[in-house]
Amino acid sequence: MHRVTLDTWLDGCPLGRVTANHDVALTTPYWNVSPETGQWDLWVEAAADDRTDLEAGLRALRDANAISAFELKRKRGSRATTRVLLDETVAIDPVLANGGAVIGPFTDVDGRERWHLGFADAGAIDAALGRLDRRHEFTVVEHTALNDRKSANVFRQFEEAAALLDGFAELTETEARVLHTAVEHGYFETPRDETLASLGERCGISDAAVSKTLRRAERKLLGAAVTALETVDDPADERRLDES
């Protein structure tokens, strides 16, 4: 199998237009196309630096000409989940017609959309991209042949990767900020380049608060890591799979 990542510019895509005109990022983890109507049923995750930018982006998405239905599922702070129906589009047709498949979420930032595609046949990639090139502007960001164990692990260990991401999602904004600052300034290095007191000064909180925040963050991340390790494939099992 081959994994191909494209950075695309689609003139007719309402998600791309929204992110080109507003400071919001859109991720589409779920999509489906109705064979009867040709409409795309999308779940779209919207994220912005602040609530004002988020609201502006959501309004633009709701009012876009190609969007025939818009439903706000959840909104919290500067993030929201929506479900939209998008009128028929043929943008992805050259990929599907040449045996390709979408293997990851679509992401839209600054007017550009990133596609994660999979092909069983390397020859089909050139055919698909050749047809796509006649209609759209794009750049190939990555092309990886998933013939070795390390490259294929992202698919084999999907549930374990999801467990780690769940741990990241559990972090509060303060925990993520303090942890990032601690790593950036060498708090976990040996010898240590940062103290709790100096770290607290950088983060604008007391050294006691820094200590508690780091312990909470570490507990969440280590818990997620242990959960993943409990189910991750044994290396010997992977070698046997590769040899079969």
Rounded Cα distance between 155 and 178, Å, is 32
The beta-carbon contacts of 145-151 under 8 Å, at least 24 apart in sequence, are 145/1, 145/2, 146/1, 146/2, 146/3, 148/242, 149/238, 149/239, 149/242, 151/3
What is this structure's pTM? 0.65
Is 221 within 8 Å of 228 (Cβ atoms)?
no
What pLDDT is attached to residue 236?
Answer: 46
R_g of the chain computed on alpha carbons: 22
Instruction: Give the residue among 70, 74, 71, 56 at the shortest CA–CA distance from 20.
Output: 56
Residue 205 confidence class, pLDDT cut points 50, 70, 90: very high
CATH topology of domain 153-243: Arc Repressor Mutant, subunit A (1.10.10)
Residue 243: phi, psi to the nearest 5?
A: -80, -15
What pLDDT is attached to residue 239?
Answer: 46
Per the listing, tokens 């042949």 go with 145
Residue 148 confidence class, pLDDT cut points 50, 70, 90: low
Taken as a whole, the chain contains a residue count of 244
Candidate from 5-9, 84-88, 156-160, 211-215 with smallest mean pLDDT: 156-160
Instruction: Give the residue among 120, 124, 105, 144 at the shortest CA–CA distance from 4.
Output: 144
Question: Per residue, what are the HEC states of 75-122?
Answer: EECCEEEEEEEECCCCCCHHHHHCCCEECCCEEEECCEEEEEEEECCH
What pLDDT is attached to residue 70?
Answer: 95
- 191: cis peptide before it, omega within 30°? yes
Whether the per-residue pLDDT at 38 is higher than 50: the answer is yes
Instruction: Give the residue among 236, 180, 238, 242 at the shortest CA–CA distance from 213.
Output: 180
What pLDDT is attached to residue 59?
Answer: 96
What pLDDT is attached to residue 154?
Answer: 58
**Top-confidence range, 27-36, 49-58, 185-194:** 49-58
Candidate from 17-26, 75-84, 125-134 with smallest mean pLDDT: 125-134
What residue ranges do the domains of the chain occupy?
2-146, 153-243
More confident call, 167 vs 14: 14
Rounded Cα distance between 69 and 62, Å, is 8
Rounded Cα distance between 99 and 60, Å, is 34
Q: What is the average pLDDT score of the chain?
A: 85
Which residue spans within 105-232 are E strands per DSSP? 106-109, 112-119, 137-145
- Give the number of other Cβ atoms within 10 Å of residue 75's Cβ: 15
pLDDT (tens digit per residue) in 61-96: 999 988 999 999 999 888 999 999 988 676 788 888
What pLDDT is attached to residue 27?
Answer: 94
Could you report how far apart the first and last alpha carbons of the chain are, in Å? 16
- Residue 57 tokens, joined: 């982006």
- Residue 229 tokens, joined: 């390790």
- The single-letter code of the amino acid at 153 is N
Rounded Cα distance between 152 and 222, Å, is 24
Whether the per-residue pLDDT at 11 is higher than 90: the answer is no
